[in-house]
Structure 1
């Protein structure tokens, strides 16, 4: 049985401590876990306990990393998992972290989709919003439910104002109305608006029903 001979707070990170066993550095842990496990100098430790403590410490680090990520910007579950995997955390630890965040409603794909659609619908059409949400791991049913709440007339007005600004820029160097209308058409398609919306607003901007 080995004995903890020293517990030293790290100089660069006050939230972590170095554990010395039999007068030699052994491993580092979060100060939170040291307090939680009531680790003390002169306490005997065994391999099983060290293994358990290391897993718990890894979970705490993963949890803190996840909290920092979602503090910067809202994320879907898939996005968060991908980022944690890139940081080197294992799937079991990540799943445990995600369960914790779900329990405290810090990670919620339903809320995520609502915020995402509300935000992106000011700049993009339904098609692009749906495509991007699929890449973020959101289910089709959840996407369709939220996208269906986008007001069609409001979507057209947003697209109209967007293409009007583009028209004012392009018309200064493009005099051919047909070419100009096609550029506007492609511009809105690239923003994810469907053909009906694009056709409608481009015709309004060009002030003709005969372009197409």
Structure 2
């Protein structure tokens, strides 16, 4: 058993305390953890209880870190897990953090998927293939991706491809027609449009 001989507020952060056991610094704690476990000078702690406190502290740190990440920008469940793994948090801590974030609705891959698609269609003018690949990389469930992607209007997909191709073709000055077609095709495919859409757009533009 070890005895709490002192508890001091940290100078640089008054929302944290330093706990001293047997006159030696033992660990720092978030103020909420300190209050939750009703710690005070003279309280005796066994190793099992100390481990329990430190687990609670790790969870608090991991949760606050995750919330800080999410205040900067929306992230998927996989992205948060990756960030926590980089910080060497244990799997059970990560699982509990993810559960809590979902309870708060701070992470929701379905909503994230919808926003991502809308942003890429509106601002980046990306095609379906590039949007899908981006969502796969971010770890969104394939079922969610398929459901949301299926809602993209195919005619509007063609119109977006046509609009960006019309701008791009103006940069291909004094080129042979075969080279223009080749470059335009590669450009559209790189933006995520499939072969059929790319060929349809090129045929439309070259006729003009």
Normalising by structure 1, report the TM-score. Answer: 0.90
1:159 aligned onto 2:161 = yes
Shift of 1:39: 1.2
Cα distance in 1 for partners of 2:76, 2:37 equals: 33
5+ residue gaps, structure 1, are: none
2:190 corresponds in structure 1 to 190
User: How far 1:11 moved relative to its partner?
Assistant: 2.5
Q: Does 34-43 or 187-196 show the bigger shift?
A: 34-43
Q: Deviations over 1:101-127 (max 9, x none)?
A: 111211111111111111122321111
CA deviation profile, 1:17-74 (whole Å, cap 9, x unmatched): 2111121111111112112212112222221111100000000001011111122111
The corresponding residue for 1:204 is 204
Partner of 1:62: 62
- Distance in structure 2 (CA, Å) of the matches to 1:178 and 1:49: 75
Q: Distance in 2 between matches of 1:205 and 1:43?
A: 80
Could you tell me how far apart the structure 2 residues matched to 1:185 and 1:6 are? 71
For 1:12-161, list aligned pairs within 5 A.
12-122=12-122, 123-161=125-163
Equivalent of 1:168, from 167, 170, 188? 170
1:144-177 C-alpha deviation (Å, 9 max, x unpaired): 1100111112222222221222122232xx4212
Give the whole-Å Cα distance in 2 for the aligned partners of 1:204 and 1:38.
Answer: 74
Q: Distance in 2 between matches of 1:180 and 1:15?
A: 63
Which has the higher mean CA deviation after the structures are superposed, 175-184 or 49-58?
Answer: 175-184
Alpha-carbon separation, structure 2, partners of 1:10 and 1:88 = 24
For structure 2, the 5+ residue unaligned runs are none
How many Å separate the matches in 2 of 1:133 and 1:140?
A: 9
Q: CA RMSD in A?
A: 1.5
Structure 1 residue 194 displacement after superposition? 0.7
Where 1:165 maps in the other structure, the secondary structure is: helix
* TM-fit CA distance, 1:78: 1.1
